[in-house]
Structure 1
């Protein structure tokens, strides 16, 4: 969730941050955020207060980013950039910074015309049909993805997913990619950039998450279970005592990279760090959610109650206040060295392969 705007009549908007919303729709005076997601008229007072104050925070960050980029002549990984990224990338600069830090810009520059050639080539009908089946299920609460919108981002989403499915035949199309590509499109407002950012995520940052076996995804869900066992043993004991598998509790967190799980602005702040620091960020987010709500989780009385509580902990002021939330993910879980994560991944992957 981003800061809220006054009700706007879509199709006639020329208001500041929402000026890119040029949707033609029968609905009028819908309260939307800067990404096109419908917002409730009545918000919790704490959420309303935060969302009213957050634009000022973004303005300060934008000024600092502008000075940084001007002084350095571009974006390169460094301790300073890492600190700036953790504090949030302004929306206007997000696509540029993501492209630079993820290596997507370099790949795009090295492959001119490749994206268009993928779209113009022979198509795999099974991939195309799977994608089209999911289009109407993608962000029904976003005015830009409705068939009545002009332009309709469903068409853009279809093109990006088709191109990627033919680029990476080992993945093709997997449910979850529609939500990820959709967010990339909302941020970049550019098909080709969205394609190369998707390539960075699926091909390099999150290898084996979206292949047929989803071994990388399953491995990381098992790794989270091991981390909870080490850092929050009472929660681990409850989950195991209920006979619950971590994949049933947190699969959507990982496969959708928290899209449709956490508020929009919070997800994008997480992705800022994901593109710069890699997949370890997902563990920090998950551990923070669980640790912050440990007592609430431990009150669960059965499997159904436990699942419901894991859904509830992704809502409310704690996750809406994204600036504080991002500070928490780097303090609450404690030390999380990459060497330890790598060892856990090797152990969990071996166990999964042995199980067949």
Structure 2
């Protein structure tokens, strides 16, 4: 088990099929499980959500599914709207930068880039006071790898409003506050890393902005990204500084 409590062991096909069966039962009876067996859900997330059900599970865990049901047809309305030219231009220039070697996004104008544009443009219309932040693009891209555009949009809404509120605002107030919290945690739990960063006069905002705002989607190995996101959707934003703390602590262990 990793320092984060995530179980990283390889599993056999038989075990994977058993886990899929258990997750299907959970997803088909979600309200019951959330009401009475939340600890069990957490344990199963720690083991890893089966790849075939990850997209559906993320929707349930985040509340994106409920949000979609409460706003039926809303995404279609936003999708058909032209959008603010200011944001449309910036989004279009960012599309090719998101996972350029992934089959979904490798082609300019391909279906992956088109869906990414739709999701990001829709968000600027849904929250015009926030508009678009470049860090939203890789987050939306990861979601699109696991679910259709409409579901990805509502999961993105949940991430921006529920999991990382204030992270994508113009002044980045929330990310600056969390940077100070991370530095305090480093001082307590990873003193070697803290002393090194302090000596180099490295402000937390310089190195953790992309980590936090992109939810590590462009930082960790892909298999680790998926497992971190499983727990991120299960337990919330507290997982973001925990992952950062373990990353810095591990980097400054003796012999590393």
TM range (shorter): 0.7 to 0.9
How many Å separate the matches in 2 of 1:254 and 1:111?
A: 28
- Structure 2 residue 142 is the aligned partner of structure 1 residue 142: no
- Structure 2 residue 198 is the aligned partner of structure 1 residue 234: no
Within the candidate set 71, 87, 91, 1:111 is matched to 71
Unaligned runs of 5+ in 1: 1-49, 300-312, 314-356
Partner of 2:3: none
Which secondary structure state, in structure 2, belongs to the residue aligned with residue 143 of structure 1?
A: coil
* Paired residue total: 246
Unaligned runs of 5+ in 2: 1-7
TM-superposed CA distance for 1:66, in Å, is 3.3
The answer to whether the 8 A contact 1:160-1:192 is kept is yes
Of structures 1 and 2, the larger Rg is shown by 1
TM-score for both structures, normalised by structure 2: 0.87
TM-score for both structures, normalised by structure 1: 0.64
How many Å separate the matches in 1 of 2:235 and 2:40?
A: 13
How many Å separate the matches in 2 of 1:181 and 1:250?
A: 19
TM-superposed CA distance for 1:58, in Å, is 3.7
The answer to whether the 8 A contact 1:131-1:161 is kept is yes
Within the candidate set 251, 255, 259, 2:213 is matched to 255
> C-alpha deviations, 1:211-234, integer Å up to 9, x for none?
101111121122111100111222
Hey, which of these two has a bigger chunk of helix by percent? 2
**Residues 240 and 193 of structure 1: CA distance in aligned 2, closer, same or farther (over 3 Å):** same
Considering Cα pairs closer than 8 Å and 6+ residues apart, tell me whether 1 or 2 has the greater RCO: 2
How many Å separate the matches in 2 of 1:70 and 1:279?
A: 26
How many Å separate the matches in 2 of 1:124 and 1:181?
A: 19
- Structure 2 residue 139 is the aligned partner of structure 1 residue 184: no
Partner of 1:15: none
Query: 1:255-334 to 2 correspondence within 5 Å?
Result: 255-295=213-253
TM-superposed CA distance for 1:75, in Å, is 5.4
